[in-house]
Amino acid sequence: MLHPSAIIHPQANIGLGCEIGPYCVIGEHVTLGDGCKLHSHVVVDGHTTLGKENEIFPFASIGLKTQDLKWKGGSTRTEIGDKNTFREYVTIHSATGDGEVTRVGSNNHILAYCHLAHNVTLGNHNIMSNVATLGGHVTVEDHAVIGGLAAVHQFCRIGRLAMIGGCSKVVQDVPPFMMADGNPAETRTINKIGMERNGVSEEAQAALKHCYKILFREGLTISNALAKIGTDVAKLPEVLHLLNFVRTSERGISK
C-alpha cells in the first residue's frame, strides 16, 4: 500500500495497514498510526505523530517549521490523535519554542485550505470549514464549528459547542454553547441546534439561554453578570463550564 513514488525516510515509523499514495514525503521523525491514508502529494515532517485511521488529502502539509518569527531552533512537536480528516491544502505547523507542542485531538473534520498555526490546541469532534484559520496559541475545545474564511486571533479560545459564522474575525474568546458572528465577531445567541444534536438536555439549554441574556443583554459588567448567574441560574455542569470559561478568559469574551 506504499506507492513507489512516495519518499519515506527509513527511520519513519509507519503503522500497519497505512496507505501512502503517489509523491508523498514522510520525514525521519514521523510516526503514522495504523490505518492512516495519505492520498497523494502529502508532506508530513518534523517530530510529528499521528494516531490511527487519519485521512489526509492531496497537498496537505503537516508538522513543518512554524512561521512564527520568534522561532529560535530546538525540538518542537506536532501531535495528532485518531480518525481525523484533513482535506486538500490543509497546513498544520509545529510549535515555536523548544519542547513545545501543536496538538490536535481526534475525530476532527478539517476542510480544504484550513490553517492551524504554531502551538494550537484543537480538541475533539470539531469542524473547520474551508479556509478557516487558527492563529498561534489558539485553543479550541470540543464539538465546535468554525465557519469558512473565519480567522481566529492568536491566544483566543473557542469554547465547547461554540459556532463561529463564516468570514468572522474573532479577536476575543467565544464562550461555550454560543454562536458568534461578525467583524469583529460578537456573540449573537446560544447554539441551540448544536446543543440539540449533541444531547444537551432541555433544562441545560434553558439555563444557558438565561446565562446568555445576563451576560450579553443586560448591560452588566462581567463580574456582576457572573455573580448574578451564580445566584439566579441552576448550577448545572454546562453552566459551571460556561462560568469557569468566562472567569479564566485573558483576552475577554466576544460581546
Amino acid at the residue 125? H
C-alpha 219/C-alpha 118 separation (Å) is: 36
- Residue-level pLDDT at 96: 98
The values of phi and psi at residue 48, to 5°, are -125, 130
pLDDT category at 7 given cuts 50, 70, 90 is very high
**Fold category of 7-137 in CATH:** UDP N-Acetylglucosamine Acyltransferase; domain 1 (2.160.10)
- Residue-level pLDDT at 123: 98
Summarised one tens digit per residue, pLDDT across range 53-106 is 999 999 999 999 999 999 999 999 999 999 999 999 999 999 999 999 999 999
**DSSP designation for 66:** P
C-alpha 49/C-alpha 14 separation (Å) is: 10
- Residue-level pLDDT at 155: 98
Amino acid at the residue 253? I
Helix H or strand E segment including 188: strand 185-190
Strand pairing report for 47-50 and 145-146: unpaired
**Fold category of 196-247 in CATH:** Udp N-acetylglucosamine O-acyltransferase; Domain 2 (1.20.1180)
Q: Which pTM was predicted?
A: 0.97
Neighbouring C-beta atoms of residue 193, cutoff 10 Å: 11
Q: CB under 8 Å to 11, separation ≥6 — which residues?
A: 28, 29
What are the domain boundaries of the chain?
A: 7-137, 196-247
Instruction: Tell me whether domains 7-137 and 196-247 share a fold.
Output: no
C-alpha cell at 225: 453578570
Neighbouring C-beta atoms of residue 96, cutoff 10 Å: 22
Block residue for cell numbers 490546541: 121
Summarised one tens digit per residue, pLDDT across range 233-254 is 999 999 999 999 999 999 999 9
C-alpha 185/C-alpha 255 separation (Å) is: 8
3-state secondary structure at position 140: strand
Question: C-alpha angle 196/198/201, rounded to 5°?
Answer: 55
C-alpha 215/C-alpha 198 separation (Å) is: 23
Of 92, 97, 112, 87, nearest to 48 by C-alpha is 92
| 146 in Cβ contact with 123 (< 8 Å) | no
Question: C-alpha angle 19/25/31, rounded to 5°?
Answer: 65
| 117 in Cβ contact with 86 (< 8 Å) | no
Q: Is the dihedral of CA 220, 226, 232, 233 positive or negative?
A: positive
